[in-house]
Amino acid sequence: MRNNGGKTRRPTSLAEAFDLDEANALKAHRRPRKQMEELMGTNRSTYARWVSDCEMPAGRLLQFSVLCGSAHVIEYLAIACGKLVVSIPTGKKAKASDLGEMQANFGKVVMLLEQFYRGQTDLPETLGVLNEVLSQVAYHRENVIKTGQPELELFGE
């Protein structure tokens, strides 16, 4: 979910994470609570208790996330455990220009970090470029992993 500034909204509590995921299910997939109950194969009171008490079984969290089309609960739990969460982009085969862009962003992030530690750059800008670099590295990591098991290319891109 995005806030007014266009930045990804991070929940500040587990209850807020559940609310954001349910809101996304309704807004993006037109899945009201009743439909979520049915798709998760549970009754109204069980589902309501899981969400209101923030006590959904761990085995159901991935199903809940997929049905909602967002992963605020899973991301909140990972971040609460001190883990870095980076969305791994999926896409096409890497080109030389992609690698050049990543290298340029590496240089930019090192410069911004140096300036940040001297108090000359603000937090949002520094985090934005850091997240971009991490996302690019994650993208290439996934491409390298998938070379052993290539995916079907339907349109030859």
Residues 61 and 118 in one domain: no
Does any domain span residue 89? no
Question: What percentage of residues in the chain have a pLDDT greater than 90?
Answer: 60
CA–CA gap between residue 72 and residue 69 (Å, rounded) = 10
Same domain for 102 and 144:
yes
Model confidence at 155, pLDDT cuts 50, 70, 90, reads low
77 and 38 in a common domain: yes
Residue 86 lies in a domain: no
The residue out of 81, 107, 128 marking a domain boundary is 81
Q: Which domain holds residue 134?
A: 96-148
The answer to whether residues 71 and 102 belong to one domain is: no
The string of pLDDT tens digits covering residues 32-91 is 999 999 999 999 999 999 999 999 999 999 999 999 999 999 999 998 998 888 777 666
User: Dihedral through CA 29, CA 60, CA 58, CA 78, nearest 10?
Assistant: -20
**How many domains does the chain contain in total?**
2
**pLDDT tens, position by position, 111-124:** 999 999 999 999 98
Whether 105 and 59 map to the same domain: the answer is no
Handedness of CA 112, 116, 118, 121 (dihedral sign): positive
Answer yes or no: is 135 within a domain. yes
Domain stop point among 28, 46, 81: 81
Is 3 among the domain residues?
no
Domain assignment of residue 70, yes or no: yes
The per-residue pLDDT of the chain, averaged, comes to: 86
